[in-house]
Structures are given as C-alpha cells and as structure tokens.
Amino acid sequence: MTRSPAVAKNAPPVPATYEQALAELDRLVQQMEGGQLPLDELLDGYRRGAELLAICRGKLQTVEDQVKLLEDGQLKAWTPE
C-alpha cells in the first residue's frame, strides 16, 4: 500500500469547527511568543499557524456568503432584538 506524497506523516487533523481552529491557533501563538520553542518546532508552528489561519478565514468567508444569500445579496448590520 502506498501513501500519497501530499499527506504528511503525523499531520495534525483539520479542526472540525472554527472555534477549534481558533483555539489551537491561540495556543500556538502563545507558545511561539513564549520564546521557548526550538527553531525546528518554531518553523513547524509557523506552518501550522498559516494552515489554521486559512481554515478560519475559509470558514468565516463561507458564513459571510451564506448571510449574503439570506439577506437577498445585501449584507446588513445585525441588530439584537
């Protein structure tokens, strides 16, 4: 059985929700800002952070697109009732 070269060994799973991705990104940023990570881990953390940021942006864009559809193509300000 061969493994696809695009699939990295021991790659962290893609978070299922925006909140999970954001929480992982927050933890990662705290670790990186703490200055305690070795250089290799810092580079891996940067890569993972870029992936998480793309996931968060994608999920936010999806929600924004859905809201635009629901509001007949016009994004309206939300006001609590």
pLDDT (0 to 100) of residue 81: 59
Return the CATH number of 18-70, one of 1.10.287.1040, 3.30.70.580, 1.10.238.10, 3.30.200.210. Answer: 1.10.287.1040
Domain ranges in the chain are 18-70
pLDDT (0 to 100) of residue 77: 64
Best CA proximity match to 50, nearest among 31, 29, 33, 35: 29
Write out pLDDT tens, residues 24-69.
Answer: 999 999 999 998 889 989 999 999 999 999 999 999 999 888 887 7
- Rounded Cα distance between 51 and 78, Å, is 30
Write out pLDDT tens, residues 65-80.
Answer: 888 777 766 666 666 6
pLDDT (0 to 100) of residue 60: 93
pTM assigned to the model: 0.70
